[in-house]
Amino acid sequence: MNPSKSQDTANESEFTVIKQAAMQIELAADPDQAIYNILSICSRQMGLNRGRVFLKEANSDWLFAAYSYGLTPLEIERSRFHLKEGITGKVMATGQAAVVPDIDLEEDYLFRTVDRAALPQEPVAFFALPLIRKQKTVGVLTFNRLKNRQRSYDRDLAFLKIMATFISEILAVHQLIEQQTQHLKHENEQLRQVALGQGSQYGIIGESLALTQALDKAARAAATPVTVMLKGESGTGKEKFSRMVHRASHRKDGPFIAINCAAIPKDLIEAELFGYEKGSFTGAHQQKKGKFELANKGTLFLDEIGDLDLDLQSKLLRVLEEKSVTRLGGVEPVALDVRIIVASHKDLQQAVNDGRFRLDLFYRLNVFPIDLPPLRERHGDVRILARHFLDLTNQDYHSNVVLARETLGYFEQYDWPGNIRQLENVIKRAVLMANEHGIVSVATIQNILNDERGITHDTDMTKGQAPTPLMQSQLTPPVQDFQQHTTDTLTRSYWKVNQEDADMLQAALKQARGNKTRAAKLLNMTPRQLSYRLEKLGI
Ligand SMILES: Nc1ncnc2c1ncn2[C@@H]1O[C@H](COP(=O)(O)OP(=O)(O)OP(=O)(O)O)[C@@H](O)[C@H]1O
């Protein structure tokens, strides 16, 4: 071949190799792969063998082969040089490239990595180039090649300088990615801790993204006087969040007053909310402050706001607009300084569309909505909550019950229509029904859930349709007064008394050694409710 033609071909193939090597910079996120590819290209296409990239070990004066091509694991392990040792050490110290034309004639060549016998018998050359970043030597790139080849040392050196630049670039980009990832991880962890800390401080347990987002919003709302609307299915923690907003706000030393608009008979709720003057209606024997007045300088939580009838809705709107309340039968308005938090498991927008909720009131209340996720969307939280409720129940019952591993798995795939309240209730019941070894099996949980099949969980928030009221027990004792009524309604939500509950009542009695007051406490009901149920069930 004529010499200039062969030179052209060599240039062309070198250019192709450089292009291939340059493309590896795109892989900088995976430096193992990117640098391995470059060292492999150098060996296979340029005859530059046993490529190694030496970097400094953290907090030591030793260099090690962080990346290599064509070396055995043992050779890689032996590739360690002190900063003052050999040619590699010199290049690291001086930042100058070194070419050893014949390693057998070079005193500083240590033969540490590869035995001489393992190399070709003919003379072998060695190249060592500094890897430079911001004028600092950060590592050394080394190769062997046969001494007697057509390509000049200068030409190989020039080519390797380009490779060293690519490798330095890859290391730098990788370091940047690592730093940024670490920074983001750190930031994420801090945010997670803040959100978790916010929650656990207020007894709100869980780590899921959906919950953390809700916690973050609640924390923001707490810092302002804004009206908050908590939206979520029954048992998702609306009351718990309302307490958090109050306690995290500057009103925390003021009163927190909660009222469940659905639990109070229609004809009594107005007096409950706004108060009344003595003699204003039959039975009003003395003046009474309403919830608004009681919540002055604090927070008023109006739960199930969607259950207020239209007439009361307009009265409520007036109070909110005028920031004052006039007791029933009174004339003097009382000025109010109250943060309002409302909650509804109903879709209030739908209620507005259906003409069941006033649009102007909706706008006044829906200033800062916070969606509370149902348990089925809080991935990972079911396990944490289950363990949390188990600990609490074990403490309360002085027991040491554990959940079988499969039980936790079963919990995770269950839909939890009654959300956290249902999970809490199921755990309490499960502790009472654990086997003689104190283990709760999946079968026990299935029995408990089967018992509950008659309960209609009101999930209007997700379905956007008219709610079906929670099934009330046929055996509900007569209501004594508002307070009792409210508490009873909350406790009763998951109590559907039927023959199947007999087992549980008996288990509680056994655990309480026949003491009904203690058994009632274990079951989260009043002694009167327990006696009533025992009587009806003929126990
Ligand atoms: N994230 C949570 N961590 C621990 N316990 C929780 C959490 N959320 C709710 N709970 C518990 O679950 C039960 C139901 O919560 P809460 O009463 O706040 O729900 P709700 O949405 O107001 O229900 P409803 O709409 O039926 O009134 C309570 O016993 C509460 O303490």
Among the four given CATH numbers 3.30.540.10, 3.40.50.10490, 3.60.15.10, 3.30.450.40, the one describing domain 3-178: 3.30.450.40
Residue-level pLDDT at 312: 94
- What percent of the chain is predicted at pLDDT more than 70? 87
- Distance (Å, whole) CA 451 – CA 469: 18
Residue-level pLDDT at 481: 31
Architecture of the domain spanning 376-537: Orthogonal Bundle (1.10)
- Distance (Å, whole) CA 191 – CA 195: 6
Residue-level pLDDT at 463: 40
Find out if CATH 3.30.420.40 is the number for domain 221-373: no
Is 204's C-beta closer than 6 angstroms to any atom of ligand 1?
Answer: yes
Residue-level pLDDT at 486: 31
Q: Which SS3 state, helix, strand or coil, does residue 270 take?
A: helix
Residue-level pLDDT at 164: 97
Burial 215-252 (b: 16+ CB within 10 A, else e): bbbbbebbeeeebbbbbbbbbbbbbbbbbbbbebbebe
Would you say residue 538 has pLDDT above 60?
Answer: yes
Residue-level pLDDT at 88: 95
For the ranges 247-256, 380-389, 510-519, the lowest mean pLDDT is seen at 510-519
Residue-level pLDDT at 489: 34
Pair of tokens at residue 134: 């911001």
Would you say residue 529 has pLDDT above 80?
Answer: no
Would you say residue 421 has pLDDT above 70?
Answer: yes
Q: Which SS3 state, helix, strand or coil, does residue 140 take?
A: strand
Q: Which own/partner pairs from 176-179 qualify as long-range (CB within 8 Å, at least 24 positions apart)?
A: 177/28, 177/29
Average pLDDT over residues 86-93: 94
Residue-level pLDDT at 438: 87
Average pLDDT over residues 154-182: 94
Q: Which residue has the higher pLDDT, 345 or 459?
A: 345
Residue-level pLDDT at 150: 87
Q: Whose CA is nearest to atom 10 of ligand 1?
A: 237
Q: Any idea which residue has 């009763």 for tokens? A: 492
ipTM above 0.85, yes or no: yes
Name the residue of 215, 229, 239 whose CB sits within 8 Å of the most ligand 1 atoms, as the mutation to test its pocket. 239
Name the residue of 420, 425, 470, 490 whose CB sits within 8 Å of the most ligand 1 atoms, as the mutation to test its pocket. 420
In the structure, what pLDDT confidence band is assigned to residue 311 with cuts at 50, 70 and 90?
Answer: very high
User: What number does the ligand 1 atom closest to the CA of 206 have?
Assistant: 1
Residue 304's φ and ψ, nearest 5 degrees, are: 50, 50
Is 458's C-beta closer than 6 angstroms to any atom of ligand 1?
Answer: no
Would you say residue 389 has pLDDT above 90?
Answer: yes
Give domain limits for the chain.
Answer: 3-178, 221-373, 376-537
